[in-house]
């Protein structure tokens, strides 16, 4: 799929708005416009109400997470390569990950997205266990939950300035693997 310059601009604005909403959850459209450096009129044309903006961000974030999982090639790559791509793909959209962490409600965003993500990740970790890449004494769904928790926790820590952005992908990978790899 070819991304137009307009879509790229919209994606940048959505990422900035997601982060602004995480930083100031009760912000008005006017405050959000100031935070991301656009006029209120521009933001209003982009999304007319705060509720619509939240819905748009939920849908956009959910779609990007789905794409991040799909592009990691969990079914066809080695477990280690797929894990590295999965981490990199998610970190590419860290603002939207932070937004989802703060605003996720069951049933929000893409219909059944969370269930699809869990199915894909559980299958990936189970395949990795069968191939000897991940420890087998922890159930695959638990590995999914551990991985997601590490990713979300470190994205939030980086946003708050507690963890450096440089090397974040390696930190997520090592934090996960040292607890999940076969010794």
Encode pLDDT of 32-43 as tens digits. 999 999 999 999
User: In the structure encoding, which two tokens stand for residue 110, read together?
Assistant: 């893409």
56, 13 contact by CB (below 8 A): no
**Phi, psi (5° rounding) for residue 4?**
-80, 165
pLDDT over threshold 70, residue 183: no
Average pLDDT over residues 153-179: 92
Q: Where are the alpha helices (DSSP H) in 37-49?
A: 40-46
Assign 1 a pLDDT band (cuts: 50, 70, 90). low
* Confidence band of 180 (pLDDT split at 50, 70, 90): low
Region 101-113 average pLDDT: 69
Confidence of residue 112 (pLDDT cuts 50, 70, 90): confident
The answer to whether 54 and 105 are in contact (CB under 8 A) is no
Greater confidence, 70 or 9?
A: 70
Reported as a single tens digit per residue, the pLDDT across 45-82 is 888 999 999 999 999 998 999 999 999 999 999 999 99
* Residue closest to 11 by CA, chosen among 57, 68, 70: 57
Q: Which pLDDT does position 104 carry in this prediction?
A: 77
- pLDDT at 108 > cutoff 80: no
Q: Tell the residue number behind the tokens 């790229």, with chain if given.
A: 8
Task: Judge contact between 40 and 30, C-beta under 8 A.
Answer: yes
* CA proximity to 13, closest of 79, 95, 120: 95
The predicted structure's pLDDT at residue 163:
94
Please state the domain extents for the chain. 5-180
Residues 6+ apart with CB under 8 A from 89: 67, 68, 69, 71, 72
What's the mean pLDDT in 99-109? 72
Compute how many other C-beta atoms are within 10 angstroms of the C-beta atom of residue 116.
16
Superfamily of domain 5-180: Tetracycline Repressor, domain 2 (1.10.357.10)
User: What is the distance between the alpha carbons of residues 68 and 73, in angstroms, rounded to a whole number?
Assistant: 9
- pLDDT at residue 179, as a whole number: 66
Using alpha carbons only, give the angle 101, 166, 94 rounded to the nearest 5 degrees: 20
Q: pLDDT digits over 122-160, tens only? A: 999 999 999 999 999 999 999 999 999 999 999 999 999
Give the torsion through C-alpha atoms of 142, 103, 99, 32, to 10 deg.
Answer: -170
Within the chain, residue ranges assigned H as helices are 5-23, 29-36, 40-46, 50-71, 79-91, 94-103, 113-130, 140-159, 168-180
The pLDDT of residue 113 is: 83
């Amino acid at each position: 799929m070819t991304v137009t310059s307009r879509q790229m601009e919209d994606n940048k604005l959505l990422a900035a708005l997601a982060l602004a909403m995480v930083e100031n959850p009760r912000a008005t459209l006017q405050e959000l416009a100031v935070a991301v450096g656009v006029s209120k009129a521009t933001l209003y044309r982009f999304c007319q109400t705060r509720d619509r903006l939240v819905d748009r961000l939920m849908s956009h974030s959910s779609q990007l997470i789905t794409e991040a999982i799909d592009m990691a090639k969990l079914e066809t790559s080695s477990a280690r390569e797929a894990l590295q791509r999965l981490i990199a793909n998610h970190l590419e959209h860290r603002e939207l990950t932070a937004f989802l962490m703060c605003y996720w409600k069951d049933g929000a965003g893409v219909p059944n997205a969370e269930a699809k993500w869990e199915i894909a990740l559980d299958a990936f970790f189970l395949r990795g266990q069968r191939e000897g890449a991940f420890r087998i004494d922890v159930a695959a769904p638990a590995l999914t939950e551990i991985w997601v928790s590490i990713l979300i926790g470190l994205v939030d820590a980086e946003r708050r300035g507690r963890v450096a952005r440089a090397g974040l992908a390696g930190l997520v990978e090592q934090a996960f693997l040292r607890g999940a790899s076969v010794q």
